Amino acid sequence: LGTTTDTLLYEEEDALFRLHVSRSRSLAWLFAVAGSFTTTEVRYLAAGAPEAPWAVMLPRERDHEYHVDHGGDFFYIRTNGGGRRNFRLVRAPVGDPRPERWVELVPHRAEVMLEDLDVFADYYVVHEREDGLVRLRVTDAQDQGSHHVEFPEPTYEVAGETNAEFVTSRYRVRYQSLITPPSVYDYDMVGRGLALLKRTEVLGGYDPAHYRSERVHATAGDGTRVPLSLVYRADTPRDGSSPLLLSGYGAYGIAYPVTFSSSRLSLLERGVGYAIAHVRGGGELGKRWHDEGRMLAKRNTFTDFVAAAEFLVQSGYTSADRLAIEGGSAGGLLVAAVLNMRPDLFRAALLRVPFVDVVNTMLDESLPLTVGEFEEWGNPRLREHYEYMKSYCPYTNLAARPYPAMLIRTSLNDSQVMYWEPAKYVAKLRTLKTDTNPLLLKINMDAGHGGASGRYDALRELATDYAFVLATLARATRGRPRRQV
């Protein structure tokens, strides 16, 4: 700033990598991070010496991701190098951060993912994910004594807030669950107590005691236990008579968030249960969970979802003619793929901006995301990858058979899943399907990948989605009175 010319400090030339710059909470260091889906390279610079050259923390190495923060005389490094896929935590002297100087603080564990790290002057907080749930481990930076923050519910979501202050003994978090509205707490890292600061108000006399949430597991065909999160009205019977909406995603190592939705109460109050299948391809059980649902293992995502649906039916939560499913983007791929595999298992399907033509999209390197996503889906110019993609690609595998009722949404300005992809999927499906169930295509002429951005426009879209689900499941919901609130 303040000069007539700009100086190029660094240019990332590898199309697989993206570049961003951040500053440590201590304000002492700048980090320039080049990262792909599987590899990281961090450059660092003392904030007080902007004219100095940037130094590379560790040169990029395939399948090595690492993240750096600063506290006191040390860099804190969360790394999955050396095959430690779920990350471990080390620290190194600021003056010499070579691996030979690393001291391990939190070891790698096969069943626990080190998801995030917040470093303060006297403490650091590690976000660990085990069996799909986040735990916060608070550690004294001096004596290394640590403890976990306790939360009361069987399934929940918790994340750190901005926490801009470096010198503090309080850690601010946002907590919620399927039945608890978003709540902001201050956690006393010394006294170990949570203080509620603010909870989102839910109008209409909402009482969480009227609902139940559960954490259960289905068993996939290869014996893998697949977690599910459920919420339903407390008076819901377990005799297979209740309708249910099952959601899933399973891609990019992203854990499906177990969040509260006041809009979802509209379904719950009408007797429709809601479940999330935490299938492989997501990050709920660490890097292994992601690895077992991407590239040449992608079909595990779909078979996990089918296993979850079968479990819900067999356990009496719902029945096949009362079960609707939903997914967006890569989750739309999931839904479309399982509809080809087991169309008999579902009554209705809701697909939002679905990634349904995997083969042709991944062959088109002119699209903005294709090359960068070779590490997630594979490169179809490699025959093994191409044949594997063909085996599950929803568009490729459409066939002359009955399909459930379907509502498919797309957006004209979507730069991630182009609108023509769902459109041609619907056109082909209309030609092939042998049933008379509704097949609806809704194109938002203004929106992008996230759908309508205005608050009320987004609610109108959601109302349409829920109306479709309720209308399709009308026979299942008939006779189940809505609770007066």
Catalytic residue among 329, 357, 385, 411: 329
Place of tokens 């779920």: 86
**449 part of the active site:** yes
Give every strand in the sheet of 18-23, ordered side by side: 18-23, 29-35, 40-46, 55-58
Nearest Cα residue to 480 out of 246, 312, 232: 232
The span from the CA of 233 to the CA of 210, in Å, is: 6
Number of Cβ within 10 Å of residue 253's Cβ equals 21
In sequence order, what are the beta bridge partners of 119? 124
Catalytic residue among 69, 357, 414, 465: 414
273's tokens = 């249960």
The secondary structure of residue 208, as a DSSP letter, is: G
Q: What are phi and psi of 419, to 5 degrees?
A: -60, -30
Catalytic residue among 291, 321, 449, 457: 449
**414 part of the active site:** yes
The secondary structure of residue 451, as a DSSP letter, is: B
Q: Residue 149 carries which side chain, given as an amino acid letter?
A: V
Residue 129 contacts residue 113 (beta carbons within 8 Å): yes
Exposure of 442 by Cβ count < 10 A (0-12 exposed, 13-18 middle, 19+ buried)?
middle
**329 part of the active site:** yes
In sequence order, what are the beta bridge partners of 229? 215, 276
447's tokens = 């929106």
Residue 410 contacts residue 422 (beta carbons within 8 Å): yes
Residues 6+ apart with CB under 8 A from 147: 137, 138, 192
Q: What are phi and psi of 427, to 5 degrees?
A: -60, -45
Exposure of 258 by Cβ count < 10 A (0-12 exposed, 13-18 middle, 19+ buried)?
buried
Tell me the CA end-to-end span of the chain in Å, nearest whole number: 57
Q: What is the DSSP string of 362-405?
A: HH-TTSTTTGGGHHHH--TTSHHHHHHHHHH-TTTT--SS---E
The H-or-E segment that residue 327 falls in is strand 323-328
CA 332 to chain centre: 13
- Point out the residues that are catalytic: 329, 414, 449
